[in-house]
Chain A
Amino acid sequence: MILSRIQPVKQNQLKKKNLINWKKSKNSMRDMMDPVQYFTIKHQQLQDLKKDSALSVIRNKGLEAFTRLGIPTLKHEEWKHTRISGLFNKDFEFAIDQAVPSLSDQEIKALRLPGHEVANEIVFVNGCYSPSLSRISTGDHQLRIVPLEEAARNEYREFVSKHLGHSGNYLKDGINALNTAFAHEGVFIHVKKGHAIEYPIYLYHITDSRTNNNYSQVRNLILVSELAQVQIVQTFGTIGPLESFANEVTEIVAERDSITSFYKIQNENSNANLVSTTHIHQIGKSQTHTVTISLDGGIVRNNLNIVLDAENCESHLCGLYLIKGQTHVDNHTTVDNVKPNCFSNELYKGIMDEQATGVFNGKIFVRPQAQKTNAYQSNKNVLLSNKASVNTKPQLEIFADDVKCSHGCTVGSLDEEALFYLRSRGIGEKKAQSLLLHGFAADILEDIKIKPIRDYIDHLITERLEYEES
């Protein structure tokens, strides 16, 4: 697959051409630029590079919204526990074209997920789709992968213009707008009508921070057509010791009688920051399953929106954040019941150790016409240290009268009775603790239906919990 794009500009040329530094601390005030200014210039460069792009219009709208909204601060209601603005004060390099480092297969080997031998692998490096590192095993007649720019002009044109940017109706902040302002190097994935894709799709978001702090963005759009079934796994990886910051948005459209599973795995290091948005629009009676697993990272913000826009839709939302150190994980979820008779079930669990902080915000909207909605939500948290914390907030806005909705959240420490029970059988305290925590996380793991992925996560969790033993 060849990307039709303008000739890539070499990294060093780009630097010379665009002598702008984004808050280089050692430089004088003159060089210091405010993020809005910086991105406005970058945006202009991109638009100049891609004059005839079908995505120009939406990018302009994105920039307009971004300049209006700015980077969210703690004053923004949806960001009051996640200090994202601090990240923009650092000196990041942001590539707006394909001048991305070429990684070898070897270099990304460590990031590959189990089951990759058969999976359809799509690799993004520094926010850009890399056809050479990607491997699509499923045939074109079942699964099509097209660069987003191309999809915006070819037979998918109408679909793209209708659905790209739908998340902006829900995420009214500068972060989402910023992603839109630079939407260009992502992909459009089409799971074709009537096909149950045998092998899962693995999406790798890789950031290269070997020589510079790196800021990157990806914008993807996925269409799961009528009667189609697909499993998608998304993961993130940073190569190199410096900081990375990825702002990724994936919009999914699910048609009638389709089944979509979407698994997100976050297990980077404290230098890797992430805003990851998954927006699922169920436009026909369909089923979706999402599992979000956050095990490590710096600042991680997940937005998950489920728009139930047809009768009899079903959605399962699961999440696990098992974090320590200074890691901050914020899960913001929205289930919007637009049409009647939909079912949603949400369960998020958190385990916070050391100084880790968790945030859970779960919105359920039931529109006036969405009678017979069944919506359940639960968030359970365990704090393992007195410096760890979590903020949990259910937010139900129900405008219909014939609905069943429930929500609940708990924050606690490990159950002493349970701990004693295990110890009284000869199981050491640390091991008893890890068994209990593993048990606490178990029902989330069970929701991962790809066995090698489930085993892998299980292994990571076990390792992590046992590691805490020492």
Chain B
Amino acid sequence: MLTIRNLHAGIEEREILNGINLEIKAGEVHAIMGPNGSGKSTLASVLAGREGYTVSRGKVDFLGKNLLELSPEDRAREGLFLAFQYPVEIPGVSTTNFIKTALNEIRKYHGEDPLDAVGFLKLMKERMKLLQIDQSLLSRSLNEGFSGGEKKRNEIFQMIMLQPKLAILDETDSGLDIDALRIVAQGVNQFRSKENGILVVTHYQRLLDYIVPDFVHVLYNGRIVKSGTKELALELEEKGYDFIKNTTSETEPA
């Protein structure tokens, strides 16, 4: 579903990603781990289409389309979703209105009729329970004054409302206490299916106890230096990132 080939990207003159190769198939959960500053968020941003990054080399194919040519909104409409590491506060726009607008924009793109208010509310009520999100939170301005945990839960809530095909979760676990982490993981696991792909970006192994990945990749200095199964995450946890820094890159780009 997502194929990244030799992706080089950076900000202005500075190259942050130095040749990323990654393939995610439908039904798979991949985890990308790596120390701070290794380029995890940069990768997520480039995939979601954030402005300010230049892609100097490489290709990204998403469901048969050249992802890098699409606008951010079209990427989302094609089924890509990014749960932000730092969700943005939007004054004066309620979460409900925001999600409803997004959902209907996506439906419109696919030639479907918009959901009416009643249909939307029904869907929302159903899915709110799963993330133990309160109605009052959803009628407040989007993320404004939300606690860290509320913001992250809201990201996952948006994901299960919009039902993307591929979800990238950028440090969704950071700043969550154990209960919130469980709730968030539950939401993600509910979303997990044979049709969907998930890319979990995390600094710590902890989240992967709850969202068990099929593959784990280690990102270091803008490259995937090691790939493996979920055991790799445990090894990292045990030995720390120094263990990667000391080994030279094992997966050279093709």
13 contacts between A and B (CB under 8 A): A418-B89, A421-B87, A424-B48, A424-B84, A425-B81, A425-B99, A425-B102, A426-B102, A426-B109, A432-B73, A436-B93, A441-B92, A442-B92
Minimum CB distance partner of B76 in chain A: A426
Known: A416-B51, A424-B82, A425-B158. A439 touches B105 (CB 8 A): no
CA distance A421 to B141 in the complex (A): 14
Instruction: Give the contacts of A406-459 with B (CB-CB under 8 A).
Output: 415-418, 420-429, 431-432, 435-436, 438-443
**For the complex, is B72 an interface residue (Cβ under 8 Å from A)?**
yes
Contact A425 B98 (CB under 8 A): yes
What 6 A-B pairs have minimum CB-CB distances, sorted nearest first? A439-B92, A442-B92, A426-B76, A439-B93, A425-B102, A421-B88
Contacts of B141 in A (CB 8 A): 439, 442
Which of B73, B76, B77, B84 has the most C-beta atoms of chain A within 10 angstroms of its own C-beta? Answer: B73
Contact A428 B73 (CB under 8 A): yes
Contacts of B219 in A (CB 8 A): none
Contact B90 A418 (CB under 8 A): yes
Which of A429, A435, A442, A443 has the most C-beta atoms of chain B within 10 angstroms of its own C-beta? Answer: A435
Instruction: Give the contacts of B37-95 with A (CB-CB under 8 A).
Output: 48-51, 71-73, 75-77, 81-82, 84, 87-93
CA distance A435 to B92 in the complex (A): 9
CA distance A436 to B50 in the complex (A): 18
CA distance A426 to B87 in the complex (A): 16
Contacts of B103 in A (CB 8 A): 426
Contacts of A420 in B (CB 8 A): 50-51, 72, 88
Minimum CB distance partner of A421 in chain B: B88
The distance from the CB of A422 to the nearest CB of chain B, in whole angstroms, is: 7
Minimum CB distance partner of B80 in chain A: A424
The interface bits of chain A over 112-123 (1 if a CB of B lies within 8 angstroms of the residue's CB, else 0) are 000000000000
Known: A421-B84, A425-B102, A427-B105. A442 touches B91 (CB 8 A): yes
Known: A426-B106, A426-B109, A439-B93. A417 touches B77 (CB 8 A): no
Partner of A435, one of B82, B93, B109: B93
Known contacts A429-B73, A439-B141; 14 further A-B pairs (Cβ under 8 A): A420-B51, A421-B88, A423-B49, A424-B50, A425-B158, A426-B73, A428-B105, A429-B71, A435-B98, A435-B101, A436-B90, A436-B93, A443-B91, A443-B92
Contacts of B75 in A (CB 8 A): 424
Contact B90 A422 (CB under 8 A): yes
Partner of A440, one of B72, B76, B91: B91
Contact A422 B98 (CB under 8 A): yes
**For the complex, is B162 an interface residue (Cβ under 8 Å from A)?**
yes
Contacts of A439 in B (CB 8 A): 90-93, 141
Known: A429-B71, A438-B93. A424 touches B49 (CB 8 A): yes
Contacts of A421 in B (CB 8 A): 84, 87-88, 90
Instruction: Give the contacts of B233-253 with A (CB-CB under 8 A).
Output: none
Which of B76, B90, B162 has the most C-beta atoms of chain A within 10 angstroms of its own C-beta? Answer: B90
Contacts of B81 in A (CB 8 A): 424-425
Which of A422, A424, A428, A439 has the most C-beta atoms of chain B within 10 angstroms of its own C-beta? Answer: A424
The distance from the CB of A179 to the nearest CB of chain B, in whole angstroms, is: 37
Interface size in chain B (residues, C-beta < 8 A): 32
Which of B97, B105, B141 has the most C-beta atoms of chain A within 10 angstroms of its own C-beta? Answer: B105
Partner of A426, one of B50, B90, B162: B162
Which of B71, B92, B109 has the most C-beta atoms of chain A within 10 angstroms of its own C-beta? Answer: B92
Which of A427, A438, A440, A441 has the most C-beta atoms of chain B within 10 angstroms of its own C-beta? Answer: A427
Minimum CB distance partner of A446 in chain B: B92
Contact B51 A431 (CB under 8 A): no
Which of A426, A429, A436, A439 has the most C-beta atoms of chain B within 10 angstroms of its own C-beta? Answer: A426
Contact B76 A424 (CB under 8 A): yes
The distance from the CB of B160 to the nearest CB of chain A, in whole angstroms, is: 13
Contacts of A436 in B (CB 8 A): 90, 93
CA distance A169 to B189 in the complex (A): 70
Contact A425 B76 (CB under 8 A): yes
The distance from the CB of B105 to the nearest CB of chain A, in whole angstroms, is: 5
CA distance A376 to B162 in the complex (A): 41
Contacts of A428 in B (CB 8 A): 73, 105
CA distance A438 to B101 in the complex (A): 13
Contact A427 B102 (CB under 8 A): yes
Contacts of A415 in B (CB 8 A): 88
Contacts of A424 in B (CB 8 A): 48-50, 72-73, 75-76, 81-82, 84
Contact B105 A426 (CB under 8 A): yes
The distance from the CB of A213 to the nearest CB of chain B, in whole angstroms, is: 39
Instruction: Give the contacts of B88-137 with A (CB-CB under 8 A).
Output: 88-93, 97-99, 101-103, 105-106, 109
Known: A416-B51, A418-B88. A423 touches B71 (CB 8 A): yes
The interface bits of chain B over 3-30 (1 if a CB of A lies within 8 angstroms of the residue's CB, else 0) are 0000000000000000000000000000
The distance from the CB of B171 to the nearest CB of chain A, in whole angstroms, is: 16
Instruction: Give the contacts of B133-171 with A (CB-CB under 8 A).
Output: 141, 158, 162
Partner of A431, one of B82, B88, B105: B105
CA distance A101 to B82 in the complex (A): 63
Which of A416, A425, A440 has the most C-beta atoms of chain B within 10 angstroms of its own C-beta? Answer: A425
Which of A422, A429, A440 has the most C-beta atoms of chain B within 10 angstroms of its own C-beta? Answer: A422
The distance from the CB of B89 to the nearest CB of chain A, in whole angstroms, is: 8
Minimum CB distance partner of B89 in chain A: A418
CA distance A52 to B241 in the complex (A): 95
CA distance A428 to B48 in the complex (A): 14
The distance from the CB of A418 to the nearest CB of chain B, in whole angstroms, is: 5
CA distance A418 to B162 in the complex (A): 19
Contacts of B109 in A (CB 8 A): 426
Contacts of A427 in B (CB 8 A): 73, 98, 101-102, 105
Known: A418-B88, A436-B90, A440-B91. A423 touches B76 (CB 8 A): yes
Contact A423 B73 (CB under 8 A): yes
The distance from the CB of B72 to the nearest CB of chain A, in whole angstroms, is: 4
Contacts of B72 in A (CB 8 A): 420, 423-424
Known: A425-B162, A439-B141. A431 touches B101 (CB 8 A): yes
Contacts of B87 in A (CB 8 A): 421
The distance from the CB of A251 to the nearest CB of chain B, in whole angstroms, is: 34
CA distance A442 to B91 in the complex (A): 8
CA distance A444 to B177 in the complex (A): 37
CA distance A440 to B90 in the complex (A): 9
